Structure 1
Amino acid sequence: MTSHFLAEPELVFASSLHICPKAGIKNFGVYDLDQLRPDTIKVAVVGLAESVDKVVEWLDRSTIALGGKQSNQPNLFPSFPGFNLDTSFSSKVKYDESYIRRISNRVFNEALAETDHNMLLDKLVSLYLAEIEFIAKNKKADVILCALPEKHIQVILSSAGNDDGSDSAPESEQEPPAAPVDSSADEPDDEEEDDEVDKNFRHLLKARAMQYGIPLQLVRDRIGKPTREMQDPATIAWNFFTALYYKAGELPGR
């Protein structure tokens, strides 16, 4: 057997090359920095009122730098420069109250009271979808953030656990557990829980929202106060805003 070492390919940024996406953006600027591109990302936020407020507060805080996690390998956990016009991304997030769509507690709790798992997923997705449709028809958002309350996630998991399995396929026909993926490719803020049931909600919402042609980014409302099992705040911000920048049609690196 003959082995060959393949060097890691370099990525292209505004003024130089680097093998690390974060270091490249931080030191050399996003790839499309000198190209014709908007420097503002218009976002809409949809979700339960308290969850929306938590996510919006976190967005506002993330305009400034966040220190990296202490580690013997500091390159793994770099500080986040902040998402604003004067730092690496040279871009800012923009929204106003008309882009905020809050789902009432009463309506949300009525959906959570559903005991059938599939119906529960359908009702929750429908609540978000109604607000997404309003934004698509009345606003010009680049990305829609869907704020997910932690209690919502826990109810979904609980309802799946209580399912009697009558609608399940035979074991040989069931899908295998999903393999771990790079969190920056999809939902970068909370990849520490890749529960298949949680993903069912996410996939259903994204599939039904495709008709409106606006990218979604789902955000757990605990993002502003990460627990010990979650990523550190700087890493969360790096993954979130790199994904947001890309979903808005921009090119962070190439």
Structure 2
Amino acid sequence: MRKKREWKGPNLSSFELSHVPEPLLEFAANGRHVDVRFGLMDYGPVDFSTERTKEIRLGVVGSSQTVGKLGEWLRRCEGGIPAKNSRQPNLFPAFPGSTILGPFRCSFEIGTRHVRTMSPLLISRIVSEKDDDTAIALAVEAFTNEVKDLAEQDQPPQVVICALPVEVIERVSNMRIIPPDDSPADDSEDEIEAEDAPVVDREIENFRGALKAATLALRIPIQIVWPTTYDNDATVKRKLAELSTRKVQDEATRAWNFFCALYYKAGGTPWRMVRDQREYSATFMGVSFFEGIDGTSLQTSSAQLFDDRGEGLILKGGPGLKDKTDRQPYLSALDAFNLTRTALQTYKREHGNYPARLVVHKTSRFHPEEREGFQKAIEQSEIEIADFIWMPRRSPVRLFRNGVYPPLRGTAMRLDDEQTILYTRGSVDFFRTYPGLYVPNPLLLHAQRRDTPDWSFLLKETLALTKMNWNGTQFDGALPITLKAARQVGDILKYVPDGTTPDPRYRFYM
């Protein structure tokens, strides 16, 4: 239902409220569901075929303790993990198991040839190193050497799990509140305001980014995992706090997220956006900026390119500039052209043709120079339809509803022809609750070029893109995947030497 109310803000006389229904996702056999986990249970992954039995080969690198404990947990997951006691069964479903009868319709196997155990002497050398940067470099080198050894086998694993020992984690991190591994313990940081967000410790981020960058050339995705993912008794000390332990998800949710990430990294597609065949084929590009290793150099750009089939491509661009008036980063016309042109050519090599429509997302304003470069690349690729959407990190407007729960996910408020706010986090009918911990902040969508006439179509599309994070299975993400991937991609690309072209597939950056 749409309602009209008076808006008291400057330059606005009225606004329009609406609600975007929860987008469906596509699974095997053309199955549809709003929820990732129930869709996988009911239909299986979208690329499932009854004509072949799928087995995913896993490798493991870690200490004797982490390798052993992880192996025990993986075997237990085969029989399934029960749901936690909760009044929201749709929010916390049981994990049915990791065999061919489970939600991913495949088995996950670790052969004895694919296990590498790091020596206690090597781990001791890392832990005892007094210099932080040297300790991180030693840890990166140790894991990279083992992954390289596995990659050189005749039949290498499809994904290598790096099971970090507690003592290594504590050495390479100051242990503040952080998203610690490739299966985040809690996605609630997406709804926290910037100044209220937990401090992200750079040492652990540097270790993760450097390790991911070092293994890109090996062409085998890695999955970094902490003991708290698979061992309920494991604790990791937080320096600067009194031995408190990080909050982790319930075990069934951890299993869902862990195996979903493994499936995608191994080349599978768990789900994808539902596309109407009558609509133009589209691809979505997120443009972001990140700082160099020294933290002081000019920001560099990257493009996160995703299509509605779930394929993701990552490209490194040229240096960023800063606007003299508002200090927002942007690209020169030439660099914007080159980045977009390279992204579209990479898309064409993967798909055989250019998309009919390109949607560009940014968290900073589209500078006139930048727009000129984007538009020139689009014209040369003969793409006639494009939308440039600026999504600032903070919305100036929030909505409140009666009662204790925040607005429904999908609630939208049209401000004017160019601006709309959209609640991507909020109360969820399917969960029968609000699953977050903090007051949600809506996205502000500011269209700086809009060839798509229908705002409701753009909102539906943006909401669907928040469900395309294959690193987790709770569908109510705060950001579209084009922008969600930006920080983790930047933390890896800054370690990639200039002049090298890393593998562009997103599965290597998760």
Same-fold call, TM cutoff 0.5: yes
Q: Provide the C-alpha distance between the structure 1 equivalents of 2:221 and 2:51, rounded to a whole number of angstroms.
A: 21
Equivalent positions of 1:66-85 (< 5 A) are 66-85=81-100
Q: Which of 76, 79, 86 does residue 61 from structure 1 map onto?
A: 76
2:111 is aligned to: 96
Q: Provide the C-alpha distance between the structure 2 equivalents of 1:248 and 1:215, rounded to a whole number of angstroms.
A: 8
Which protein has the larger Cα radius of gyration, Structure 1 or Structure 2?
2
Q: Which of 208, 225, 230 does residue 231 from structure 2 map onto?
A: 225
Q: Provide the C-alpha distance between the structure 2 equivalents of 1:46 and 1:190, rounded to a whole number of angstroms.
A: 21
**1:191 Cα deviation from its structure 2 partner:** 5.0
Matched-pair contact (CA < 8 Å) for 1:189–1:237: no
Structure 1 residue 188 and structure 2 residue 183: aligned? Answer: yes
Give the partner amino acid of 1:130.
N
Tell me the secondary structure at the aligned position of residue 161 of structure 2. Answer: strand
Identical counterparts, % of pairs: 33
**1:111 Cα deviation from its structure 2 partner:** 1.7
Matched-pair contact (CA < 8 Å) for 2:69–2:231: no
Give the partner amino acid of 1:76.
L
Give the partner amino acid of 2:251.
P
**1:156 Cα deviation from its structure 2 partner:** 1.8
Tell me the secondary structure at the aligned position of residue 116 of structure 2. Answer: strand
Q: Provide the C-alpha distance between the structure 2 equivalents of 1:196 and 1:74, rounded to a whole number of angstroms.
A: 37
TM-score normalised according to structure 2 size? 0.43
Matched-pair contact (CA < 8 Å) for 2:45–2:104: yes
**1:35 Cα deviation from its structure 2 partner:** 6.7
What per-residue deviation string (whole Å, max 9, x for no partner) do you get for residues 189-240 of structure 1? 6458964432221111001100001010011123232368211110000000
Structure 1 residue 107 and structure 2 residue 122: aligned? Answer: yes
What per-residue deviation string (whole Å, max 9, x for no partner) do you get for residues 142-195 of structure 1? 00000001221112224x99xxxxxxxxxxxxxxx99x8xx9xx7116458964
1:117 is aligned to: 132
Structure 1 residue 207 and structure 2 residue 222: aligned? Answer: no
Matched-pair contact (CA < 8 Å) for 2:228–2:248: no
Structure 1 residue 248 and structure 2 residue 266: aligned? Answer: yes
What per-residue deviation string (whole Å, max 9, x for no partner) do you get for residues 119-145 of structure 1? 110001100011111111124210000
1:144 is aligned to: 160
Q: Which has the higher helix share?
A: 1
1:32 is aligned to: 47
Matched-pair contact (CA < 8 Å) for 1:52–1:221: no
Query: Please, which moves more after superposition, 38-47 or 186-195?
Result: 186-195
Matched-pair contact (CA < 8 Å) for 1:46–1:132: yes
Tell me the secondary structure at the aligned position of residue 157 of structure 2. Answer: coil
Structure 1 residue 21 and structure 2 residue 40: aligned? Answer: no
1:156 is aligned to: 172
What per-residue deviation string (whole Å, max 9, x for no partner) do you get for residues 84-121 of structure 1? 01222110111221110111001110121111111110
TM-score normalised according to structure 1 size? 0.84
1:7 is aligned to: 21
Give the partner amino acid of 2:33.
H
Judged with a 3 Å threshold, the aligned counterparts in structure 2 of structure 1 residues 33 and 79 are, in CA distance, closer, same or farther, namely same
The number of residue pairs the alignment matches comes to 233
1:174 is aligned to: none
**1:37 Cα deviation from its structure 2 partner:** 6.1
1:237 is aligned to: 255
2:479 is aligned to: none
Judged with a 3 Å threshold, the aligned counterparts in structure 2 of structure 1 residues 4 and 202 are, in CA distance, closer, same or farther, namely same
Matched-pair contact (CA < 8 Å) for 1:150–1:220: yes
Q: Provide the C-alpha distance between the structure 2 equivalents of 1:65 and 1:38, rounded to a whole number of angstroms.
A: 20
Judged with a 3 Å threshold, the aligned counterparts in structure 2 of structure 1 residues 21 and 119 are, in CA distance, closer, same or farther, namely same
Q: Provide the C-alpha distance between the structure 1 equivalents of 2:207 and 2:173, rounded to a whole number of angstroms.
A: 10
Query: Please, which moves more after superposition, 62-71 or 76-85?
Result: 62-71
Matched-pair contact (CA < 8 Å) for 2:44–2:103: yes
Give the partner amino acid of 2:225.
V
Matched-pair contact (CA < 8 Å) for 2:77–2:98: yes
Matched-pair contact (CA < 8 Å) for 1:47–1:102: yes
Matched-pair contact (CA < 8 Å) for 1:189–1:223: no
- Where does the alignment leave 5 or more consecutive residues of structure 1 unmatched? 162-176
